[in-house]
Chain A
Amino acid sequence: MENINIKNIKMNQTAKDWQQALTITCNVLVDSGSITSEYTQACIDSVLEYGPYIVLSPGFALAHSRPSEAVIKSDMSLVVFDNDIIFGSDNDPVRVIICLACTDHHQHVERLSKIGEKMFEDEHLIEKIIQCKTLEDISVLING
């Protein structure tokens, strides 16, 4: 099973601020029918409320909120930005954002863990994703 469907991966995006970057990343899942736009807002609100803790490591943010009715099915998207996104975190600037949407505390765990393991074992994974020239190359890094 793939971790993130290639249809949910985008590259060469630009955003003027972190709110717009989160919106672009979440909108991939709105377009694929996995979430409603309320979830996008919930992801933004969570950063406004709790701070930029979603920037988990240098260059990488995991946008997410709590399981809710705004999530139609558990899914993930990944967007690579051409410009630096500033969240106000020690791990700025961000270039790769994954949006995680989950319906409960279990369904998404396996796929998220597999991505996490890849990042944990390869500290250059985010740099490699940024340097990819095609969506297929990104998919191989994330799903291979």
Chain B
Amino acid sequence: MKPKIQAVCGFGVGSSMMLKMNIEKIAKEHGYEVDVFCGDITTCTANECNVIFTSKELGARITERAKVPVVILNNFMNKKEVEEKVLAYLQEL
């Protein structure tokens, strides 16, 4: 089954969209099939997924109520960091 990854930002339209694209790109480059979608901070913990990727500031707000692992990214646009954290998650599955 394809892992379902939720990229989360304040409203699910801007930063999470950029993050979603970067996660998809890394997964593809390494031959993983993933299902990535955008979520907003208010409703994200109600959405069904296997993992949440978000920023430090937003992660602090959802870690407690999230039912799935929350992965924190300091720099959404840094290929090295996104690659490292996405692969670390995918390789554990």
Interface of A toward B, CB cutoff 8 Å: 46, 49-54, 56-58, 60, 62, 64-67, 89-91, 100, 102, 105, 108-109, 112-113, 116-117, 119-121, 123
Give CA–CA (A105, B59) in the complex, Å: 22
Which A residues are CB-close (under 8 A) to B76? 56-57
Known contacts A52-B57, A90-B56; A120/B79 CB under 8 A: yes
Which B residues are CB-close (under 8 A) to A116? 17-18, 21-22, 77
Most buried by A among B22, B58, B82: B22
B36-54 contact mask (Cβ, 8 Å, vs A): 1 or 0? 0010110000000000001
Give CA–CA (A119, B76) in the complex, Å: 10
Contact of B17 among A52, A66, A112, A120 (CB under 8 A): A112
